[in-house]
Amino acid sequence: SVIIVGPQLKLHQCGLPKQMALELFKPFVMKRLVDLNHAQNIKSAKRMVERSRSAVWDVLEEVITEHPVLLNRAPTLHRLGIQAFEPQLVEGKAIQLHPLVCEAFNADFDGDQMAVHLPLSAEAQAEARILMLSANNILSPASGRPLAMPRLDMVTGLFHLTRLDENAPGAGQAFSSEAEAIMAFDRHLVGLHAPIKIRVMDRQPPKEQQAELAENGWEPGQPWLAETTLGRVMFNDLLPADYPYINEALPKKRQAAIVNDLAERYSMTQVAQTLDKVKDAGFYWATRSGVTVSISDVLVPAEKKQILEDFEGKAAQVEKRYQRGQLSHAERNNELVKVWAQATEDVAESMEAHFPDDNSIAMIVKSGAAGNMTQVRSLAGMRGLVSNPKGEYIPRPIKSNFREGLSVAEYFIATHGARKGLADTALRTADSGYLTRRLVDVSQDVIVREVDCGTSRGIQMTIGEKQQDGPIMRAEHVATSVYARTIAEDATDADGNVVVNRGDDLGDPAIEKLASSGIDRVKVRSVLTCESVVGVCACCYGRSMATGKLVDVGEAVGIVAAQSIGEPGTQLTMRTFHQGGVAGDDITTGLPRVQELFEARVPKGKAPIAEVAGRVRIEESERFWKITLIPDDGAEEIVLDKLSKRQRLAVGPDGPLADGDHVDVGQQLLEGTPDPHEVLRVMGPRQAQIHLVDEVQKVYRAQGVSIHDKHIEVIVRQMLRRVTIIDSGATDFLPGEL
C-alpha cells in the first residue's frame, strides 16, 4: 500500500491498516476464535472473519502483539531495504512509516508504496525481532555511521531550538533551575534564544569547561552555572543523563556528529529511545519556529543590475577583440565563459550578504535541513552558465533567476542540461544495478569462516599528519580507513609505552588516544592480508559496520560489500568530463570509472609509470613527449616514446616533473591514471590492491559518499585470488593452469 508519515510511532513500530492486518493474520485470527469458543470450527471462524464481526477485531489486536512484520520498499538496493517493525493497527488504507527509517529505505511520502510480509514460524519471528528490527539497524552497513538521523523538519526544529539571539527578551537573566526558567518562558519574560545563566543540576559540564570548573573547587556530580539559552537546556534534556552538556547551535552536521557519538557510546536501545525523543522535539519546535516559505522570502539583491551591466561591458570587449580577429572562436568562448562565471559568483556573493538571519530560506539552508546555496543562487541570484548536450559551456549566460522568470531564449538554453540530467539518471539506474549484480557474483562466497587466521601481516595506515606543536591533526579519511579495524601490532608512543594492544578494535576513542600520543601510522589487519583458506577471518575483517561489534562467524560479508558499493552507484555521475574544453582523451569519472577499475581494464588516458628508480630525461617534439629513464643501478635505459602531448607531465609533491628529476619506482610520469596491470607488474600485488582501493574511493568521495575501505578490499581480494602455475613442483597442478 501507499505509505504516509507516522510521527507518533516509536522507532520499532509501523502503522498497519486494519483491513491489511486482518488479511495477513487471517489464519492466526481464525485459530484464536476457535480457541476462545467464539466459533465452533475453523469454517465458521473463517465466515466470521469474512463478515468482520466485532469479536474479530478484539482477537486481531491480541494476535498481532509482539508479532513483527517485515516492510520492504522496491528497489531493495541494500540490506536495510527490508526491516522488521511491530505493527500498530490504524484506520485508513495507508501504511504508516516512522520518519527516521525513510533514509534507509530511500522513501518519501509523495506516493511511494511498500510491501508487508509476515514471518510465520517462531524462528522467523525471532530472526525478524533480533536481526531485522529497525531499532537494531540504526547504523549503515556501508560506513558504520547512523542512518537514522534527524532530517528536514526535525533539523530545522532543533536548529531553531538551539539558536542564540543576543537581542531576545530576558537576555542576561539568571535562574536557579530549569523549572524556573521554563516558568519565565511560559509567561513571556524570557525568550527561547536569550543568553541566560542557569544552574544545572544533573548534567556534566562540557569537556572544555570541566578543567576550568575543577580549578574553582567543582567536583563531578555538583551543580554548576551554565551560560547558555533555555532552548539548549531543553535540547540537553533529550540526551542520556550522563552525556556532557552541549552548548552550541546545532546545524545538521553537528546533530549528525552527536547521534554518531551516541551510537559509539551507548546501547542500541538507548540510542533508539534518544532518537525518538529528538524526533518529537524536532517536529514540535519546527512547528513553533513558524518557518514557512513564501515567494516574498526570495530576495533578489539590488546590486544585481549594476553587476550585470559591468560584466556586459567586459563581454562586449571580448566580442570586439573576436570581431577584429585577435581571438579564435574557441578562445572567445573560453574568455566569455570566464567573464560570466565571475559575474555569477559576484551576484551570488551579494545575494548571500543580503539574506537576513531570520529569513526562512536562509534558515533552511543554514541549518542543513534541505537545499544548498547553489539552489538559492538559481532562485534569487542568477542561473549563470549552463552546458550544451556535448557537455561544453554555452557562452550565453542565463542572467535571470527563477524569481524574476527566464526569457524564452534562456528557457530553451536551460532545457539542454535538464533533459540530459533526466536521460542520464535513467541510464545510470540500469548500469548501477548491473554493477551490483556482478559484484555479488564475484564476492558471494566471501563468508567469515573463523575468528582469527593468526596472520601477523597487515597494512600500514595513516592516522594523521604530525604537526609542529603537540597533537596529531587527524587525516580526513580516517573514518573510512583505520576506523573499525583490528590493530595488527602493539602501538607504542615515543617513550615505549603501549597505547593500544595488538588485537584491539580501533573505534573513535582508540583513534583519539593514538592521535594524542603522537602516533601517526599504525599497522592494521585487512582482508587483503588475511590467510584464511576459505572466506576470511573475523579479526582481519574487523568490526561489522552495522552492529559496531566484531563481525560474527558466518556473516556474509561479501554480499554486504557488494551492496555497499552498488547502492550509492545511482548517485555517481555518468558523464566523462572534458578537461578545459580540450577535445580528445577524456578522463573517465563516476560509474564508468568504477566499472573500469573492477574489470581491471586499461584505463582511458593511461599514464605511464616509472619501472625503476632513476633520473628522467624529457625531450619534446611537436606532438609527443619522449621520456628516457636512466636507472640508479646502472642498468639499461628505458625509453618511452611517442607519448601524446595531450597528457601533461605529472605533478608531484615538488611541482611538475622536469628534465633531470629523480623518480621512485611506480611514480607517475604523465597526468592521467596508471594501468592497474602495470602497477601489479612493477610494484607487486599489495601495492596494486591498495591502488585499486584508493582509486575506487576517489570516485565515491567526489560525490560525497562514505563507504568503508574494507568493502572495496573484499572485492579487490577476489580480483587477485587466482594464480597461474609456473612450475608444478611436487603437486598435481599442470604448468600454465589457472
Please spell the DSSP secondary structure of 492-548, one letter per residue. Answer: E-TTS-EEE-TT-B--HHHHHHHHHTT--EEEE--GGG---SSSEEHHHH-B-TTTS
CA torsion 87→91→92→93, rounded to 10°? 30
Residue 125, amino acid:
Q
What's the confidence (pLDDT) of residue 197?
Answer: 97
Q: Where are the beta strands (DSSP E) in 689-737?
A: none
Q: Kindly calculate the radius of gyration of the chain based on its CA atoms and give it in whole angstroms.
A: 31
Q: Which residues contact 219 (CB under 8 A, 6 or more apart)?
A: none
What's the confidence (pLDDT) of residue 577?
Answer: 43
Residue 439: count of CB within 10 angstroms of its CB: 25
The domain spans of the chain are 3-136, 152-289, 295-406, 448-558, 602-719
Q: Which three cell numbers stand for residue 548?
A: 559496531
Cβ 561 vs Cβ 435: under 8 Å: no
What's the confidence (pLDDT) of residue 389?
Answer: 79
Q: Please provide the size of the chain in residues.
A: 738
What's the confidence (pLDDT) of residue 575?
Answer: 56
> The pTM is what?
0.90
Cell numbers 543568553: residue: 195
Q: Which three cell numbers stand for residue 198?
A: 542557569
- 3-136 has which CATH code? 2.40.40.20
Q: Which three cell numbers stand for residue 623?
A: 606532438
What's the confidence (pLDDT) of residue 579?
Answer: 39
Q: Which of 97, 551, 86, 47 is nearest to 279 (CA)?
A: 97
Residue 95, phi then psi, degrees to nearest 5: -80, 135
Residue 626, amino acid:
K
- Helix 54-64 and helix 42-50: axis angle, to 10°? 100
Q: What is the mean pLDDT of each run of 10 residues along the chain (738 residues)?
A: 98 98 97 96 96 95 97 96 98 98 97 98 97 97 95 97 96 96 97 97 89 87 94 98 96 96 94 98 98 95 96 97 96 96 96 93 96 94 90 91 96 92 87 95 96 94 81 86 94 89 92 88 95 95 94 97 95 57 58 94 90 90 88 87 82 82 90 93 95 96 95 96 81 74
What's the confidence (pLDDT) of residue 584?
Answer: 40
In the CATH hierarchy, which fold is given to the domain comprising 295-406? Answer: Topoisomerase I; Chain A, domain 4 (1.10.132)
Q: Which class would CATH give 152-289?
A: mainly alpha
What's the confidence (pLDDT) of residue 420?
Answer: 86
Architecture of domain 602-719: Beta Barrel (2.40)
CA distances from 273 to 75, 80, 239, 284, 589 (A): 29, 20, 9, 17, 42
Q: Which residues contact 305 (CB under 8 A, 6 or more apart)?
A: none
Please report which helix (H) or strand (E) contains residue 643, including its range: strand 638-644
Residue 619, SS3 per DSSP:
strand
Q: Which three cell numbers stand for residue 421?
A: 540530467
